[in-house]
Amino acid sequence: GQNIDQPTEMTATEGAIVQINCTYQTSGFNGLFWYQQHAGEAPTFLSYNVLDGLEEKGRFSSFLSRSKGYSYLLLKELQMKDSASYLCAVRDGDYKLSFGAGTTVTVRA
């Protein structure tokens, strides 16, 4: 089966940096995704990694190491609106995405 682990909760201060780790053990690998989900809203796509290394998109960066089954999402210059759940997901075929349970990030003033 698929196993995707990420911390349940994290708290950080406005303006700080937070790193959300994700480890996975899946039967196949065809890309890793990060989604953001605010309470009561749709998950929205943040990033996609299929090769090892760092992908940077403004204040958000995502890193992948396929050999270690490991990824992280880095959120810089935290803002109050970044308080949300962050979902790590691995695609192991053409279309099948397996998700972690999500990490709830709370940003405090």
Partner 1 sequence: ETGVTQTPRHLVMGMTNKKSLKCEQHLGHNAMYWYKQSAKKPLELMFVYSLEERVENNSVPSRFSPECPNSSHLFLHLHTLQPEDSALYLCASSQDWSSGANVLTFGAGSRLTVL
Nearer to partner 1, 78 or 87 (CB): 87
Binding string, 21-60, against partner 1, x = CB under 8 A? ----------x-x-x----xxxxxx--x-x----------
Task: Please name which of 73, 66, 24, 76 lies closest in space to residue 47, comparing C-alpha atoms.
Answer: 73
**Binding segment toward partner 1, per CB under 8 A, in 11-19, 20-28, 59-67, 95-103:** 95-103
Nearest CB to partner 1, comparing residues 4 and 18: 4
* Whole-number Å distance between alpha carbons of 30 and 103: 22
CB 26 within 8 A of CB 2: yes
Cβ-based nearer residue to partner 1, 41 or 52: 41
Residues 60-89 contacting partner 1, CB under 8 A: 87, 89
Mapped to the 3 state alphabet, what secondary structure does 14-80 carry? CCCCEEEEEEEECCCCCCEEEEEECCCCCCEEEEEECCCEEEEECCEEEEEECCCCEEEEEECCCCH
**Interface ranges with partner 1 (CB under 8 A):** 4, 8, 31, 33, 35, 40-45, 48, 50, 87, 89, 91, 94-102
